[in-house]
Amino acid sequence: MKTSSTPNKHIQAIRDKARTKRRELREKRRYAANLVKSTKKAVGSADYIASDEGFTKKNRLPPHFKILINNSKKLVFSTRSHTDKRGRLRSLSLRGRRKLFNVLLVLLTNCDFMSGQVGKPKLDHMDTTGHDALMLQYARRFGDSISSSTWYRYIAILENMEIFTSKEIKLYAEDGVTVRSEPSYKWLSKGFLRSIGVFADNIFGSIKASYQKAIKNGLSFVWREHNAPIGHRPTRGLFASHGHHSAHHQ
């Protein structure tokens, strides 16, 4: 009995396309890392946006970032172990803590501290930022091309530590069957943000000023709701009970 090889060819074509995409993303990260490293434009853990331009005035982050970055570093480097998904205690070496802090820093510099959302505010909505884009920022920030397996390993540690969480987005075509993924909704937890001092009066005042300036410039911090997970309302804001939200987040 003969069987058609068409389905196998289709699966192989999908795999080849995914493999090509992964290779292109790796090459892009390596190029970005080598560029900032060779031109000494890697900003590392300094309070600047990761870019090819380095320490330029326009890329300086708002004043509160310096304190929050330092507090995050203290928190991570004082953490000697974490509990994995199976409840087993895992030790964190000095090298591991350094890598964990670097991954966390990329998330921190993409965070709206008013809601905890990780993404990019735009004129009509807040874009969710994909892991590939975050890994590229890592390369530009540290002059080091992180592998996707290493990135996701440390993302998992941050999830286990209840610092980071995400919810997938799946877009369904009109046929109701075909599914396309979008970059997931991502947050830094309220507990973590509190632990690094986000809600302290002197820091939150700076955060609120930056937020209001962005709103005045027409930027939105509200995610688009497409097939949002059940029970999740991204336009409402995670920390509504904290009392620091404007009507924009309600």
The pair of structure tokens assigned to 7 is: 């389905």
Cα–Cα distance measured from residue 94 to residue 144, given in angstroms and rounded to the nearest whole number: 18
Range with the poorest average pLDDT among 27-36, 42-51, 78-87, 209-218 = 78-87
Segments of 69-217 assigned E as strands: 81-83, 89-91, 111-112, 117-121, 126-128, 164-172, 179-188
In the prediction, which pLDDT does 235 show? 45
Instruction: Name 214's Cβ contacts closer than 8 Å, sequence gap at least 6.
Output: 121, 221
Q: What is the full DSSP assignment across 105-117? A: HHHHTTEETTTTE
**Residue 41 included in any domain:** yes
250 pLDDT band, cuts 50/70/90, is very low
pLDDT surpassing 70 at residue 106: yes
Q: What is the pLDDT of residues 173-203, one digit of tens each?
A: 666 666 667 888 999 999 999 999 999 999 9
Give me the chain's average pLDDT, please: 86
**Residue 224 included in any domain:** no
Q: Which residue has the higher pLDDT, 29 or 3?
A: 29
78 pLDDT band, cuts 50/70/90, is very high
**Highest-confidence range of 18-22, 227-231, 246-250, by mean pLDDT?**
18-22
Neighbouring C-beta atoms of residue 155, cutoff 10 Å: 20
**Residue 151 included in any domain:** yes
pTM: 0.84
**Residue 94 included in any domain:** yes
Range with the poorest average pLDDT among 14-23, 34-43, 52-61 = 14-23
Identify the burial level of 59 via C-beta atoms within 10 angstroms of its C-beta, where 0-12 means exposed, 13-18 middle and 19 or more buried.
middle
Q: What is the pLDDT of residues 129-144, one digit of tens each?
A: 999 999 999 999 999 9
**Residue 1 included in any domain:** no
**Residue 247 included in any domain:** no
**Residue 69 included in any domain:** yes
Range of the domain at 28: 8-120+131-162+186-214
Spatial CA neighbour of 188 closest among 91, 75, 92: 75
| CA-atom Rg of the chain in angstroms | 20
The domain tally of the chain equals 1
**Residue 171 included in any domain:** no
